Structure 1
Amino acid sequence: MFFSNKKLIGIDLGSSMIKAAEINFSGKKAELVGFSMTPTPEGAMVGGEIQQPGLLSEVIQSLVADLHSKRKQAAIGLWGTSVVVKKISIPRIEEKLIAGQIRWEAEQYIPFDIEDVNIDYKILKDLSVAPETMDILLVAAKKDAIYMCQDTLQGAGLAPAVIDLSSFALANCVQRNHPEISQMTVAVMDMGASVTNFMVLEKGEVIFYRDIPVGGLTYTSEIQKSMNVSYEEAESLKLGASDSGANPDELLTAIKYGHDMVSEEIQNSIEFFMNTTPGIQIQKILYSGGGSRTFKCISEISAKTNLPMEKINIFNYISSKAGSFTAEFLEEVDQVGAVAMGLALRKVGDT
C-alpha cells in the first residue's frame, strides 16, 4: 500500500494548507492540469491526525470543484504520530519468508499494539553488509488513521484509491524531477508550518525518515513572544524580512533564535542517521515547503550542516498546461506543492 491505470487526484492534508493536484500523462510526459489549495481549518488536523473529517471532506470537495475535474479517485498521504518508518536489521532469511517474519520483528519497534497497525516493508539490499543480517525499511500506520483518511475522501465524493505516506509521495516527486539522485545519497526536507518531513534517499530509495517538530511556525512563535505582537503581525513581519528591508533588531534576533532551533534539529537528524548507517555520506539537501522561505533559513541550515542546499524543482519533469496558471501561482506551487504532486503522480494499483 505504501510503495508503482487510472489517473488520480492527489490530496495533501497539511497542518496549515490543504492542496489538491491533477496531472495528465502522455507516454513518459506528465502535465499539471489543475492545482488548488486553501488554509486548513483550525483544529481539523492535529499532529497529522484528522480530528474533523466532516469539515475536511467539505474542504476537499470545494478544492476538487475548483479543479473542474471529472476524476473520482484520489491518492492521499498519511503523516505524523500515526506513522512509523524505521530501518531495522533482521537475521538473514529467504526473501519469500520475510512477510511471515516481519510482523514478529515489528513488535519490537512499533509503539502501538501490533493488531492496531498495517505493516509494510522494503528490503534495503544496498545497505545490508553483514552476511548474517539484512536491513529492512519497516513501515507501520495505525488502522484508525487509514480508515479516517478513507472516510474523509468518501465524504468528499472520492474513492480512496491509494493511501500513501506523505514522505514517500515527496520522495516520488523528487525521484521524478531529479533523476540525478539515482546515483547519489541525498537528504530531502519539506518544511511546513509545524512539521518538517526529513528523509534520506540512497540511489533514489528512502532509507531513513522522521518528522521533525519545527517549521515556519517556529519562527512566528518566536517573533510573537519577543516582540509582543499578534500571530498575524508576526507572520507579516517574518515574511517581510529581507536583505533589502529595514529589519528591526528584535525581529532579526527572533528569527536567528528560530534558525538555531531549526538547524539544530536538522543537524541532529543527520547525525542520528550517520550514527545508525555508517559508511554513507549525504552529498546535499534538497528542500521545499513554505517554511523554508523564512529569511536566511536555508543559508543557516547549510552552514550548520556543512552541506549544499538545492531547492526541489517540481517542474523539471512535470510541465504545466499552457494558459491555465499564472507565473506567480506556479512559483507558489513549486514551493509548497511537492507532496500533492507526488501523490498525483501515483496511479491506481500502486502499492
Structure 2
Amino acid sequence: MKKKNNFEIKERSHGQKKKIIDIKALMNIELGTLTVKLSKNLKKMNALSAPEKKRKVVSFDIGSSMIKIVEGMYYKKELSINKYITMKTPKGAVVDGEIKRLEELLNKLRQVLKENGIKAKYGICTTNSTLIINREILIPRVEDEEMDTVVRYEIQQYLPINLEDYILQVQILSEEEINESKKLNVRVIAYPDKIARGYYDLLMKLDLKPYALDVNYNSINKFINCVDKNNEYECNPEDSIAFIDMGASFIDVNIYKNGNLDFTRMIKAGGNDIDELLIEKSLIKPEEVDGFKIRNIDLQEPFEPINIHVRQITDDWIEKIEKIIQFYKNKNMGEEINSIVIFGGSSKLKGMDNYMTEKIGIKTIRRKGLSKIGVNSSDDGKQMDDFINVIGSVIRL
C-alpha cells in the first residue's frame, strides 16, 4: 500500500494571518523525517529536496549532555562519512530536545565547525524529546484529501493537546476490516512546532541550508536497514529487536520488527544518575566522571562498594525497560523480543551487556562499531557506536 505522508509548517508573523505550507506538495519524505524548510521559493525547495542530487551534509545529534556531529553524503544508496566530532553541550542549552540557550549553543558550534574544517552547506538535526508524540490509531478508510481532517479529529480524541502547536505526519501502516467496516491503521507523529523552529533557526544562524529535521528512532531505523543489513550482524533484522540508546538524561527504547519501527518509549533516566552518585560520594570531580566510570565500574563484580551503588541505579533502569518490553508483548499478543542492542554512553559500563542479559533474560549486545561497508573514515579512534543516530540521519530515503 502506498504510504501517506502529511505534515504542515505554520508560519506566523506579527499582525498577519497564519500561513500554511503543505510540505507534502513539495516532497516525498519517509516516516519520522520532519523536514523544516520555510522558504517562499517553492521551486528552490523542490530542487533542494530532490533525493538523487549529490549533496554533502553536516548532521547534528543534539542531546542535553553531548552533541555528535558528522559530515558525509548519501548518494545512490552509498553512505560515506568522512568526519566524526563530539562536543559537550553547553550546560542548560538543550533541555528535553528543546533549545533553551541558542546563542551559547551557536557560539560553541561555530567554533567546533571551524576547528574541524566543516565545509558542507546543508544541515540536518536529529533529536528526541518526551514532547514528541508517536501513536498508532485506527481511522475510517478515507480518500487522501480527507486524511488530514480525519486524523486531526481522531488524534484529538486520544490526546488533550492543541494541534495548532504541532507538526503532524501520518503514515498508513495497514488496512483492516472490522465489523464489515474498512479501517486504516496509521502512525501519527506530532512534533512540537517550537522545537522544530528552534533547530531551523540554529541551522540558519550557522549559515547552513536546513535540509531535514529527524527524530532518533527514525534515524536508527534507517541505520539498521542501510548499514546493518550489510554487516556481519549478530541479530536478524527480520526479528523483533530492541535498540536501546542509553544517554545522559534519557534512555530511548525503540523496538523494530521486519526492519520497521514497531514501538518506542523514553525513560527519564540515564548516565547523569550515576554521575550524581559519584560526585555526591566525593569519589570523583565532575570533569573526571566519564573516564572514572569506564575505568572503575564493573557490573559483573558485585562485591565492590562502588559497583553495589551503581547496580542499584542500573537495576532501576532495567526494571523500567522490562516493563516497556512486557507492555509491548501484551500489546502484540505475546510477541517476543528476540534480542536487545544497547549503545550510547552508559552502555559502555563494563559488563552492562552481560548484566542486562542475566536480568532480563534476553540476549543483549553492545553495539561497538560500524560495518566498514559504505562508511568511510580515517578516524578509527572514535567510538563509532556513539554516532548511530547521527549517521542514520544522513541517510535520505
Quick one: which amino acid aligns to residue 158 of structure 1? L
CA contact 1:216–1:292 (8 Å) conserved in 2: no
Specify the alignment match of 1:40 in structure 2.
89
Q: What SS is found at the alignment partner of 1:58?
A: helix
CA drift at 1:248: 7.7
Specify the alignment match of 1:185 in structure 2.
240
Specify the alignment match of 1:328 in structure 2.
381
With over 3 angstroms needed to count, the CA separation of the structure-2 counterparts of 1:150 and 1:314, relative to structure 1, is same
CA drift at 1:311: 3.2
C-alpha distance in 2, partners of 1:52/1:81?
19
Query: Which 5+ residue runs of structure 2 have no aligned equivalent?
Result: 1-28, 34-50, 230-234
More deviation in 175-184 or 195-204?
175-184
With over 3 angstroms needed to count, the CA separation of the structure-2 counterparts of 1:154 and 1:253, relative to structure 1, is same
CA drift at 1:112: 2.8
The equivalent position to 1:154 in structure 2, one of 177, 194, 204, is 204
Specify the alignment match of 2:374 in structure 1.
318
Specify the alignment match of 1:231 in structure 2.
286
CA contact 1:176–1:317 (8 Å) conserved in 2: no
CA drift at 1:167: 1.9
Quick one: which amino acid aligns to residue 202 of structure 2? T
The equivalent position to 1:262 in structure 2, one of 317, 326, 349, is 317
**Per-residue deviation, residues 98-148 of structure 1 (Å, max 9, x unmatched):** 33311111213345311110111222229x685754322210111111111
Specify the alignment match of 2:329 in structure 1.
274
CA contact 2:300–2:355 (8 Å) conserved in 1: no
RMSD in angstroms over aligned alpha carbons? 2.8
**Per-residue deviation, residues 48-69 of structure 1 (Å, max 9, x unmatched):** 2110112222222233324423
With over 3 angstroms needed to count, the CA separation of the structure-2 counterparts of 1:291 and 1:246, relative to structure 1, is closer
CA contact 1:226–1:254 (8 Å) conserved in 2: no
Specify the alignment match of 1:240 in structure 2.
295
CA contact 2:240–2:255 (8 Å) conserved in 1: yes
Quick one: which amino acid aligns to residue 253 of structure 1? I
Specify the alignment match of 1:305 in structure 2.
360
Q: What SS is found at the alignment partner of 1:15?
A: coil
The equivalent position to 1:199 in structure 2, one of 244, 248, 254, is 254
The equivalent position to 2:184 in structure 1, one of 110, 134, 150, is 134
Specify the alignment match of 2:224 in structure 1.
174
Does 2:268 align with 1:218?
Answer: no
Q: Which has the higher contact order (CA 8 A, sep 6+)?
A: 1
Q: What SS is found at the alignment partner of 1:221?
A: helix
Percentage identity across paired residues of the two chains: 22
CA drift at 1:19: 1.5
**Per-residue deviation, residues 12-61 of structure 1 (Å, max 9, x unmatched):** 11121112111234644322211112100101011221101122222222
Q: What SS is found at the alignment partner of 1:194?
A: coil
CA contact 2:347–2:366 (8 Å) conserved in 1: no
With over 3 angstroms needed to count, the CA separation of the structure-2 counterparts of 1:34 and 1:129, relative to structure 1, is farther
C-alpha distance in 1, partners of 2:205/2:56?
20
Specify the alignment match of 1:295 in structure 2.
350
The equivalent position to 2:130 in structure 1, one of 81, 84, 96, is 81
TM-score, with normalisation over the residues of structure 1? 0.86
With over 3 angstroms needed to count, the CA separation of the structure-2 counterparts of 1:247 and 1:283, relative to structure 1, is closer
CA drift at 1:11: 0.9
Does 2:172 align with 1:120?
Answer: no
Quick one: which amino acid aligns to residue 286 of structure 2? Y
More deviation in 130-139 or 145-154?
130-139
With over 3 angstroms needed to count, the CA separation of the structure-2 counterparts of 1:69 and 1:273, relative to structure 1, is same
Q: What SS is found at the alignment partner of 1:88?
A: strand
Larger radius of gyration: 2
C-alpha distance in 2, partners of 1:214/1:195?
5
CA contact 1:222–1:257 (8 Å) conserved in 2: no
Specify the alignment match of 1:339 in structure 2.
389
**Per-residue deviation, residues 262-305 of structure 1 (Å, max 9, x unmatched):** 11111111112222222532211122111111232222222232
Specify the alignment match of 1:103 in structure 2.
152
C-alpha distance in 2, partners of 1:247/1:231?
24
TM-score, with normalisation over the residues of structure 2? 0.77
More deviation in 223-232 or 306-315?
223-232
CA contact 1:86–1:209 (8 Å) conserved in 2: no
Quick one: which amino acid aligns to residue 31 of structure 1? S
Q: What SS is found at the alignment partner of 2:64?
A: coil
C-alpha distance in 2, partners of 1:242/1:34?
31
CA contact 2:269–2:317 (8 Å) conserved in 1: yes
Quick one: which amino acid aligns to residue 223 of structure 1? L
With over 3 angstroms needed to count, the CA separation of the structure-2 counterparts of 1:182 and 1:93, relative to structure 1, is farther
Quick one: which amino acid aligns to residue 50 of structure 1? I
CA contact 2:66–2:89 (8 Å) conserved in 1: yes
More deviation in 277-286 or 260-269?
277-286
Quick one: which amino acid aligns to residue 188 of structure 2? L
Specify the alignment match of 2:70 in structure 1.
21
CA drift at 1:190: 1.0
More deviation in 18-27 or 301-310?
18-27
Q: What SS is found at the alignment partner of 2:207?
A: coil
